[in-house]
Chain A
């Protein structure tokens, strides 16, 4: 699944503003746990994801889940839950989530954006 990086969501920080102040590499923390929205129920569920997937969108070997469409994320989690997709870690995680929780965490994750360096 390829991440849709072109979406501009309301949580984003204007890069031009950051550029004014940053003296080193640009780091924007809009989507990471430091965001002011990080206490909501979606953020609390997404904290589980953050143990393996960076929520700043930086690439690791594991699939990025930042910048992905809400419906696509929910479909993916439901596919693991139903057994349509395999993978022991995501199977165990999805089995522990109710469908409502899947919708909530997918909605939250879809609001995060890839940080720019």
Chain B
């Protein structure tokens, strides 16, 4: 049997503070990862674990990260926010990732340095940027950062999610909960519709006369047949979906009376959840990693930016062809990215990357389905190779098992990212 490796020894003894740093001469290269969401945390973990001679620094302002995925279960009162919140101690202690809780304020791609809010400058050989999404506040009149305190987006998990939950709990009996659903592409394509479903499951018990109104920018949405089948079985008459051709798009909001003006009509809500159109996170825009689409074009095999060499972009901020903006995709991209960086910096062998997406989607607490998609590089982009989705004919037991599998998936997936 092998003896303990250094990392295992440190992990077993909990003696992270005593963990010797590799001598300068042993460090082959420095990689800085900006953003401690799923994409950034996964890159940092897999790079540190697979290439010990690469010094990996993860820059993330928050001490703990709350996952957006599964936060609809919190809104329905089915999970605690705490159960969706994860720290970075394991990345530091078990894998030797240097975690810095600070904000990156600027990137200099020429001198290859990152400057933090504290004034610290971090040099890098490769940089990974995983900034997630930013909201296009200018696209809905009256909706800005201040307005999110009255009409939350709750599309980045944490205080916004709590605010929306509090509003739903105190909503008047028989009131209207309005959700606006943005144009493609946006984070989590089934998310707005799963949110409507799970809030309906909450209302069914606590506010049975309430209505849910989805004001969509689009004329159709992902897994529409599955959702509409679920709505008619579980919540007949409670959820109304208005497509873009009916609404003409969401034009303006008024926080004073919680009204939402579309091209054709004004709707007054008791609780309003505005999910604005999106683009890549601020740092990506500021550094010129995003193009006119608002997203960051990347190489389909390495996730290196097509606009700035030696900078990689993973997760929601990337424009990775047909890959949707999901946590699962961010995780898959991050692994491909980590192994390609290790290969480039240390000469390590690299297996051909396999890219997948899997989503479990809840229409009620005991009714969940899944989809699985494989992707393959095609020219300078990434295309769908195969897609399999649950169908409306599945029986209740299959869906009940799906819901339990989803819970197991959450545990395994967050362990893969943060554990």
Chain A residues with a Cβ under 8 A of chain B: 10-14, 17-18, 21-24, 26-30, 33-36, 38-41, 43-45, 47-48, 50-54, 56, 58, 60-62, 88-89, 91-93, 95-97, 101
The CA of A47 and the CA of B370, in the complex, are separated in Å by 20
Interface string of B353-383 (1 = CB under 8 A from A): 0101010000000000011111010000000
CB pair A88–B11 under 8 Å, yes or no, is no
- Known contacts: A54-B411, A60-B411. The answer to whether A48 contacts B332 by CB under 8 A is yes
The CA of A21 and the CA of B6, in the complex, are separated in Å by 13
Identify which of A33, A41, A44, A51 contacts B356 (C-beta below 8 A).
Answer: A51
> Which residues of B, 1-21, contact A by the 8 Å Cβ criterion?
1-5, 7-9, 11-14
Q: Which 7 A-B pairs have the closest CB atoms?
A: A61-B408, A60-B408, A88-B388, A39-B50, A92-B372, A44-B351, A21-B13
CB of B34, distance to nearest CB on chain A (Å): 22
Stretch at the interface among B99-107, B158-166, B342-350: B342-350
Chain B residues with a Cβ under 8 A of chain A: 1-5, 7-9, 11-14, 45-46, 49-52, 94-95, 328, 331-332, 335, 339, 342, 348-351, 354, 356, 358, 370-374, 376, 385-390, 404-405, 407-409, 411-413, 415-416
Nearest residue, chain B, Cβ from A40: B349
Count chain A CB atoms within 10 A of each CB in B7, B14, B354, B386 and give the residue with the most. B354
Return chain A residues, CB-CB under 8 Å to B5: 34-36
CB pair B412–A54 under 8 Å, yes or no, is yes
Return chain A residues, CB-CB under 8 Å to B376: 96
The CA of A27 and the CA of B94, in the complex, are separated in Å by 11
- Known contacts: A88-B389, A92-B372, A96-B374. The answer to whether A52 contacts B409 by CB under 8 A is yes
- Known contacts: A13-B2, A33-B49, A50-B416. The answer to whether A96 contacts B354 by CB under 8 A is yes
Identify which of A50, A62, A95, A101 contacts B405 (C-beta below 8 A).
Answer: A62
Return chain A residues, CB-CB under 8 Å to B416: 50-51, 54
Return chain B residues, CB-CB under 8 Å to A23: 13-14
CB pair B415–A54 under 8 Å, yes or no, is yes
Identify which of B3, B350, B356 contacts A93 (C-beta below 8 A).
Answer: B356
The CA of A117 and the CA of B4, in the complex, are separated in Å by 16
8 additional A-B pairs beyond A10-B2, A62-B405, beta carbons within 8 Å, are A22-B12, A34-B94, A47-B46, A51-B358, A61-B408, A92-B386, A92-B387, A101-B351
- Known contacts: A17-B3, A51-B416. The answer to whether A61 contacts B404 by CB under 8 A is yes
CB pair A52–B13 under 8 Å, yes or no, is no
CB pair A51–B412 under 8 Å, yes or no, is yes
Count chain A CB atoms within 10 A of each CB in B50, B51, B331, B388 and give the residue with the most. B50
CB pair B408–A62 under 8 Å, yes or no, is yes
Return chain A residues, CB-CB under 8 Å to B409: 52, 60-62
The CA of A105 and the CA of B155, in the complex, are separated in Å by 36
CB pair A13–B372 under 8 Å, yes or no, is no
The CA of A45 and the CA of B339, in the complex, are separated in Å by 11
Return chain A residues, CB-CB under 8 Å to B14: 22-24
The CA of A17 and the CA of B45, in the complex, are separated in Å by 25
The CA of A22 and the CA of B4, in the complex, are separated in Å by 13
Identify which of A39, A48, A60 contacts B335 (C-beta below 8 A).
Answer: A48
CB pair B12–A21 under 8 Å, yes or no, is yes
The CA of A95 and the CA of B376, in the complex, are separated in Å by 12
Identify which of A22, A44, A89 contacts B372 (C-beta below 8 A).
Answer: A89
Return chain A residues, CB-CB under 8 Å to B374: 92-93, 95-96
Return chain A residues, CB-CB under 8 Å to B332: 48, 51
Return chain B residues, CB-CB under 8 Å to A30: 8
The 11 listed contacts between A and B (C-beta, < 8 Å) are A12-B1, A14-B1, A24-B14, A26-B12, A27-B12, A39-B342, A40-B349, A44-B50, A56-B415, A60-B411, A93-B374
CB pair A92–B388 under 8 Å, yes or no, is yes
CB pair A88–B390 under 8 Å, yes or no, is yes
The CA of A56 and the CA of B90, in the complex, are separated in Å by 14
The CA of A27 and the CA of B335, in the complex, are separated in Å by 24
Nearest residue, chain B, Cβ from A56: B415
Identify which of B12, B46, B412 contacts A18 (C-beta below 8 A).
Answer: B12
